[in-house]
Structure 1
Amino acid sequence: MKKLFIVALIFFGVNSWAQNAEFGIKGGFNYGATGDYEGPGEVASDAATIIKGKEKAGWHAGVYGQFEVAGIFLRPELLYTELNTDYKDFNYKLTKIDAPVLVGVNVLGPLNIKAGPSFQYVMKNELENTSFQIGDVENQITVGYELGLGVDLGRIGFDARYEGAFQENDAIGQTAMDQGFKIDSRPSQWILSLSYEL
C-alpha cells in the first residue's frame, strides 16, 4: 500500500509538471570579460604583469524548456556562447556550451526572478590579433551560477541575467619570446536574451 501511494505521488507530480511544460528557442547578446591575464614583466627582474580584461560584446543562442507548478518553475537551457575579452594587445575569445538549470518564481504579473547553477563546457579558447600562443583551459567542464529577472509577454520573453564563476580556470600560453603567461578563463558577464515559446 505504501509503495502504491509513492508511485501515485510520483505520477501525479510528473503529470502536473508535464501539463505546465513549454519549450522554445532563445538568443541574444552578452557583455563581459574573463579573468585576469598574468604574464612576465618587461624585464626579468620585474614582478609579474597583471592585466584586467576589458569587457566586450558576445552572443549566445539555443533552446530551453520550462516546467511550472504553482508559480514556481524549473528552467533548463542549452546554449552556444561566444565571450570576448580585450587584453590591451590582443583579444581573447572563449567558445562554450552553457547548460544553466534555473529555479524561478513568478513575482508580479509577467515578471519573474530566477537563479541556479550553470554548467559550462569550454569548446575552444583562442587569441586574436597576436603572435602569442595559448593552450587548452585547465578544466573543460566547470560550474558557475546565473541569477536574473525576466518578463513573459505571451509567447515572447525578455531576460536579463548576471553570470559568474566559483573558481579560477587558467589557460597557459607563451609569448613571442617564449615566456609563459596565463589567462583566467572564468566568465563574468551580463546576458540579455529574447526567447520565443514554440
Structure 2
Amino acid sequence: MKKLMITLCVMTLSYTASAQYNPGFRFGLKAGANLSNINGSNDLSLNSGNTAFNFQDNSNRSLGFAGGVFFRFGRALYIQPEILLSQKGGQFNMYKDGVKNEDGKVDLRFSNLDVPVLFGFRIARFFRVNAGPMASMKLSPNGKIKDSFEDVTDENGSVTFQNRLSFGYQAGVGLDFGRLSLDVRYEGNLNEIVKVNYNNATTAAQFGKKGNLFQATLGLAIF
C-alpha cells in the first residue's frame, strides 16, 4: 500500500509539472491532416470542334498530410510562426456535351510549403484562439488537370497555368496539455491557387479557383 501511494504521488507531481509547462518560448514539431477543396465563382466552358467541354466545381474534399515545425513567442499573448509541408487539393466535375466523362471528375493534388504567422491569446490555461496571414508556395505541379485540358483541346490551343505563390489566412483554436498541443483551423485563400488561361483561334477562356481547408494537427514542444 505504501509503495502504491508513493507511486501515485510521483505520477501526480510529474503530471502537474508537465501540465504547468508554459515557457515564454516554444519550439516543436507538429503533424496532422488537411481536408481541402478548390472552388470559385466561375466554371470553364470550352469548344473543340463540335464538342463542348465544361469544368465545374465539385464539393468533395481531398485528404492530405500537413506537418512541420512551429515557434511560439509569449504566454497569454503570443505569436506563432510555422513552416509546414502541406498537401492540398480538390476535385472538378468534367462534362463532355453535358455528360460526365468516364472518371466523372478531375482530382487535383498539390504539395505546398506553407508559412503561417498566427497571433493568439489564451482564454484559459489550456485554451487558445489564434488567427493570422499565410503565404503558400506550390512545390509540385499536378499533371491531371494539364492532361485533362490537353485531352479536350486541340494542338492549336495554348494552355498556361499560373499562381505558384498564393496568400491566405488561417484561424482556429488550440488546446495545450503540457508539451502536447492540439490545433484545429480553417484556411482560406485571398487569391486564386489555380488559374488557367486557354487561347486558340476561336476560344479564349480563363479558369480561376481559390482553395480552402480544415486542418487538424498534433504538436510536441521539444523545448
Task: Please report the TM-score for the alignment, with normalisation by the length of structure 1.
Answer: 0.75
Shift of 1:85: 1.4
Give the partner amino acid of 2:71: G
Q: Which runs of 5+ in 2 are unaligned?
A: 1-22, 94-104, 151-158
* Cα distance per residue 1:71-122 (max 9 Å; x no partner): 0000000000111312242211111100000000001220000000011111
Give the letter aligned to residue 164 of structure 2: Q
Cα deviation, residue 167, structure 1: 2.1
State yes or no: 1:153 paired with 2:158: no
Contact 1:137–1:185 under 8 Å retained in 2 = no
Q: Structure 1 residue 43: deviation in Å?
A: 7.4
After superposition, residues 51-66 of structure 1 pair within 5 angstroms as 51-53=56-58, 54-66=60-72
1:95 has 2:111 as partner: yes
| CA–CA distance in structure 2, aligned partners of residues 193 and 76 of structure 1 | 15
Structure 1 residue 166 displacement after superposition: 1.1
What is the root-mean-square deviation of aligned Cα atoms in Å?
Answer: 2.9
Structure 2: distance between partners of 1:184 and 1:125:
16
Question: 2:102 maps to which residue?
Answer: none
Aligned match for 1:83, one of 77, 85, 88: 88
* Aligned counterparts of 1:137 and 1:26: Cα–Cα separation in 2: 32
Give the counterpart letter for 1:51 in structure 2: Q
TM norm structure 2: 0.68
Match of 1:190 in 2: 214
User: Which residue is 2:190 aligned to?
Assistant: 166
Q: Which is worse superposed, 53-62 or 122-131?
A: 122-131
Q: Which amino acid aligns with 1:80?
A: L
CA positional deviation for 1:172: 2.3
Unaligned residue ranges in structure 1 (runs of 5+)? 1-18
Q: Cα deviation per residue 1:103-145 (whole Å; 9 max; x = unaligned)?
A: 0000122000000001111112314498425877422222100
- For residues 59 and 115 of structure 1, what CA distance do their matches in structure 2 show? 21
Sequence identity (%): 20
What does 1:117-128 correspond to in 2, within 5 Å?
Answer: 117-128=133-144
Greater Cα offset, 150-159 or 130-139:
130-139
Native 8 Å contact 1:35 1:183 kept in 2 = no
Contact 1:125 1:137 in 2 (8 A): no
Residues 39 and 52 of structure 1, relative CA distance in 2, 3 Å threshold: same
Distance 1:195 1:182, change over 3 A: farther
- Residue 82 of structure 1 aligns to which amino acid in structure 2? Q
Q: How many residues are aligned here?
A: 174
| SS of equivalent to 1:187 | strand
Match of 1:15 in 2: none
Q: Which residue of 2 aligns with 1:29?
A: 33
Contact preservation (8 Å) 1:28, 1:191: yes
Are the structure 2 counterparts of residues 196 and 182 from structure 1 closer, same or farther at C-alpha, using a change threshold of 3 Å? farther
Code of the residue aligned with 1:83 in structure 2: it is K
